[in-house]
Every structure is written in structure tokens, then in C-alpha cells.
A and B are shown apart, each in its own frame.
Chain A
């Protein structure tokens, strides 16, 4: 495989990069506010509008955080898939940074989904954990993305890091349809997929509202992490360029 030559790393940009001022990474405050506002209001709406379930009682309210966390992680892994393909196909450096940002947020949301599912499982199934197809495939998904982050942390060469993590990203994202369909493909303790079409009408508003809230939170986290990484890269390049410029002056 040929090496990744990122446009920003061309040596002819060195002198200009040394002098270039770098603007601070911007925080999308409107998106942060939207995410926070919809998270708080979504949980209030969920509590106020949903009657206790016939069998699960108030435990049903865990659905408003457990299901949106899982959906948001799927969105994150869709971004990972797209970014990973772009990295391998077009050797795009920005896609690599987006890949890392989405994978990190996706791993956090998958971990949260597992913990919330465990809290829900204890009073309904009588166990915190069972080797059910849905739970196991979700745990595998989580571990793949923990591996993705470990791989990035342990690989110094940026080109190799981009290629390897893109390969792991594609492998992990391909697990998402397996996680989603596991409740249909295998006989599981976990119920069928919850969606506005499968839950009681009383629960649809809360579920939709919280799904949007988690999606906005994901968008805010990924945007800030991506912009920060982009900025850190530019700062590294500037430091490198300054060091090179200083070295050539000393040599004269």
C-alpha cells in the first residue's frame, strides 16, 4: 500500500506554516446549548408523559436513556465507517481526525448503553449480565472501539495510525448490523428492537425527544473533538516548521 501524503504535510508549506497564526478552535455553543436543553427537557417530558408499564412499571423510563444511547452510538459508527473508507480510499487526513472523534464518542455511548442495559436487566431479568446475543455483540462492538482507541494511542506514525485505525473502524462498524439484528437472528432474552412503531403510543414522544437529544449531544462532542484535533495538528505543524526554520538559520 502506498503511503499517505496529506496535503497539509507538504514540505513546501513549511516556511509559510512557521509564520501562520492559528485561530483557537471554535466551540459550537449553539449546538452545545441545543444538546443540553433537549437532554434536560427530553427527560422531563419522558417522566411527565409516560405512565408506568404494565409489567415493568417505572423501569420503562430507562428506555429514554438506554435506547437513544444505543441509537446515537450507531450514528457515530456510521460516521466511523464513512470516514474510514475515505481515509483508505482518498488518503484524507481530516477524515482520519473525524474517524477518531466519532469512534471515541461512539465508544463512550456504547459503554453507557451496556451499563444502562445492565441496570435495567437486574430488576427485570434477575441478573446484571447474561451471555445473550444482543448483549454479547454489543460488548464485542465496545471492545473493538476500545481497541481502536488503544491502537491510535500506541501508534506514533500518523500514516500507519490512519490506515490501521480505518481498517479497525470498518471492521467495528460492520458489527453494527449484527448488533441490531441479533434480537431477530437468535433467540435472545433481550426484547425486540424498540422504536416509535413498536412501543406504546404514550412512550413515542419521550423516545423521539430523547433520541434527538442524544444525537445533538453526539454532534456537539464529535464537532468539538474534531476541531480540537484539527487545531492540535496545525499547532504541531507550526512547531515543527519553527524548529526547522530555526535549524536552518543556525546552520548558516
Chain B
């Protein structure tokens, strides 16, 4: 339990870390995804 007193606080940390991981994973997976505006600039 990482020293936490109850599941509520443990869940708060778990939810926070989950949220960060989702952000990281999304960014990596979509890193090179282009759309029509990306193409317009030619970059």
C-alpha cells in the first residue's frame, strides 16, 4: 500500500499516475499522426 492509510488515498495516487501514463502513451502513439493542416505546411 506504499504506506498509505486507506484505499481512498492509494486510489487517488493510482488514478493520478494512470492519468499521467495515459497522457504519455497517447503522445507517443500519436506522435507522428498528421492531418490536413500538418500536410499544408509541408513539414
A and B are interacting partners: no
What residues of chain A have their CB less than 8 Å away from a CB belonging to chain B?
none
